[in-house]
A and B are shown apart, each in its own frame.
Chain A
Amino acid sequence: MTAAAALGGRVGTVNVRIRRRRRLVVAGLVAPALLVVCGALLVPAVNLIVQSFLESSGYGGVVYHFTFSNYLDAVRDPTYRTVAWHSFGLGALAALICVVAGYPAAYFITFRLHPRWRNLALFLVVVSLFTSYLVRLYAWYTILGGNGIVNTALIHLGIVNHPLLFLLFSRWAVLIAFVNVFLPYSVLMLTSAMQNIRPELLENARDLGASPVRTFSRVVLPLTMTGAVGAFVYTFILTSGDYITPSLLGGTSSTSLANIVSDEFVALGDRPGGAAISCVMLLVFFAVYLALSRLERWKGI
């Protein structure tokens, strides 16, 4: 650089050359990753969106004729609408519970535990993610079933006379499994958000006479809003897009919107129909994400 400066008038061209080379290096560094995302996601995704405007000829076939009817079907069909409400509702409820239930634990882990124990606690949270998702799902058969642990205990304790059958094969069971699977993610995201809060800040608030609730709502909450929104959106998207948990634990309400997409797509071979429903799903996710990040910004002020 000093040499370049000494060259006076030629500095501009050298700078351009350095910049051009640097741009080339950056392009070379970023290109492979972009190639992966474009080749393995963007192109197939655009292809899927295009298909959602085509006509299905059944069983995997499409007719190259532009139509909007798949979307009309997706939005108008009363079956889809019922299922959509249930799927999104259950997803939102699961996400809300995960965030709300995660806060106290994340707070305790971050501010009340000795660093040594804190690391152990976080380690345990990560470990809980290391058992197969599916295996953890069917473990609920053993826990919540008619002859399961909970019912056996309740009967032994004389609290109920007959097993509570609604515990398994119901929306409750799906909700419990969702919270069980996604709570660790919430705790991790919230903990990592809270680690950015300096403990002195909390002490100051307490010294100034703020009640714990006030400290939480005025200090902790605003400073961790990004983490909370992230955890909510993550859980909401992954639970309302789940086609496995409801079908295993949902009982007579085992259909989810994701299930319908999967059925449309593979079982009925109606690619455009399935594509349209999944695009509508994505739009909902996107809208929820936008709305919440607005909320977060507003809360920040």
Chain B
Amino acid sequence: MRRPSGLGLYTVLLFLFLFAPIAVVVLFSFNKTAGLTFPFHGWSLRWYRAVFSSSTYRDAIVASLRVAVVTVVVVVVVGTLAGIGLTRHAFRGSGVVRALLLFPAALPGLFVGIALLSFFVQTKVTLSLWTVTVGHLVYVLPYFFLVVASRLQRFDYLLEEAARDLGAGPWTTFRRVTLPLIAPSLIAGALVVFSLSWDEVFITFFTIGAQNTLPLVIYSTVKQSVDPSVNAISTLLLAGSLVFIFSVRRLVVDLQQ
């Protein structure tokens, strides 16, 4: 920055606005009382203890993890294959396929949710974490596909050809050449997918069975009766995801070297 500019000041203010609710969430997670309004009555870790000893939160975290992990694994495999198929070989109808894969991103969760719910109820599928996972799969696939396809478009195919000329089979070429090169993007994509699934509430609301995911527990708490333990769990998750992003960045940098 050469001189203090109006634009810079504006950007700082914008960041303050973005982080205002987050600051409030973190601050009140340390509140001594159950209130969520000022005056702030003093510091305490009671809401963190409440989170750690609450079976509701524990069950919800477990449920959310199960959904997110399965979603990530399936989407990474399926999305990478599709990315390779579509960027490498132009074929008739590839535009249509591409549009189809990106289509879910242009739909509100409400629509995906009611379409799936009505389908499950009609086909007598019992709602469970699996039905939630189905919804998440289709919701996150476009985002992963975008990340991977943009990497593959910049991919230098000569490297693969060189490997093949040296006698490597297609699988070896993929494992030893292609995969290491696109791994950082796959990890970044997986991270995006994980965070989207982890925070999803619009589709989950309709497709959930008896086991609630974390956002659903938070939703019913917010709609029913809130206390700072919700702030505490959000703060923990924020801290957790920061650590997670940082370590992934390290991993990505290492891989690139």
Contacts and interface: CB of A to CB of B under 8 A. Distances in A.
Q: Do chains A and B touch in the complex (CB under 8 A)?
A: yes
Contact of A26 (B89, B141, B238): B89
A133 B38 CA distance: 22
Contacts of A136: 21-22, 25
Q: Which of B17, B108, B202, B231 has the most CB of A within 10 A?
A: B108
B138 interface: yes
Nearest to A39: B134
A139 B25 contact: yes
A16 interface: no
A125 interface: yes
Pick the most buried of B109, B206, B214: most chain A CB atoms within 10 A of its CB: B109
Given A180-B20, A244-B201, 18 more contacts: A28-B81, A29-B82, A32-B77, A36-B138, A40-B116, A40-B135, A128-B18, A134-B222, A135-B21, A138-B230, A139-B21, A147-B38, A237-B106, A238-B109, A242-B202, A247-B223, A258-B110, A271-B118
A145 B81 CA distance: 50
Contacts of B141: 33, 36-37
Chain B binding surface, main DSSP class: helix
A174 to B, nearest CB: 14
Contacts of A104: 7, 10-11
The listed residue with most B CB atoms (<10 A of its CB), out of A33, A107, A148, A289, is A33
A285 B106 contact: yes
B25 A135 contact: yes
B118 A124 contact: no
Interface string A212-255: 00000000000000000000011001101111100110000000
B218 A132 contact: yes
Interface stretch (B50-58, B95-103, B177-185): B95-103
Contact of A109 (B11, B22, B234): B11
Contacts of A107: 7
Interface string A261-285: 1100110000100110010011001
A138 B226 contact: yes
B97 A30 contact: yes
Name the prevailing secondary structure of the A interface residues. Answer: helix
A63 interface: no
A47 interface: yes
A275 B114 contact: yes
26 contacts: A26-B89, A32-B77, A33-B82, A34-B101, A36-B137, A41-B112, A47-B118, A60-B121, A112-B5, A121-B15, A128-B18, A130-B195, A131-B21, A131-B22, A134-B222, A138-B226, A142-B24, A142-B28, A143-B20, A148-B38, A149-B24, A241-B110, A243-B110, A275-B114, A282-B107, A285-B106
B78 interface: yes
B111 A108 contact: no
A168 to B, nearest CB: 11
Contact of B134 (A40, A127, A131, A237): A40
Contact of A262 (B21, B114, B245): B114
What 7 pairs between A and B have smallest CB-CB spacing?
Answer: A241-B108, A29-B85, A139-B21, A33-B82, A44-B119, A44-B115, A40-B138
